[in-house]
Amino acid sequence: MPLLSALLVGLLFGVGLLVSGMTDPFKVIGFLDIAGPWDPSLAFVMIGAVLVGLIAFRLAGRRTAPLLGGEMRLPEGRSIDRRLVLGSLTFGVGWGLAGFCPGPAVVALGAGYLQAAVFVGAMLAGMALYEWLDRRSRAGERRAVIE
């Protein structure tokens, strides 16, 4: 049942991204380009997503277990640190340059957009690079503690 519900929620999310225009990099760049011919339509999509998320997290916070079983794992971190700020800036720059963020890029890839294939490839390479650098950093920290 959890796999089926994940599939259905993923399909609903993908359809929502397609219908809202979030998979169209030109529409996204039109929204992000406030100095040019600004397209505010995606602001309504984002406001709707924030409202749905707010309600969902409030309801989830009151529950002791998920509706479909398993364990409840809600985010606990509340601090704003260097990693969060740098990650947010990197995400924003990438979104502004490419017109894609991860979810819409995967949906656009499934819809056959060549630009999305390039973005998803670069995204996967960036994720692999991050993992490699993070492992190296942690290994260096462990060596420093041992010495």
* Domains identified in the chain, total number: 1
CB 72 within 8 A of CB 63: yes
Amino acid 72: pLDDT: 79
Look up residue 68 and give its DSSP letter. Answer: T
Q: What is the Cα–Cα distance from 40 to 3, expressed in whole angstroms?
A: 36
Amino acid 131: pLDDT: 94
What is the domain extent for residue 48? 2-146
User: What is the pTM (predicted TM-score) of this model?
Assistant: 0.73
Average pLDDT for runs of 10 along the chain of length 147: 84 89 88 87 90 91 80 83 91 89 91 91 94 88 67
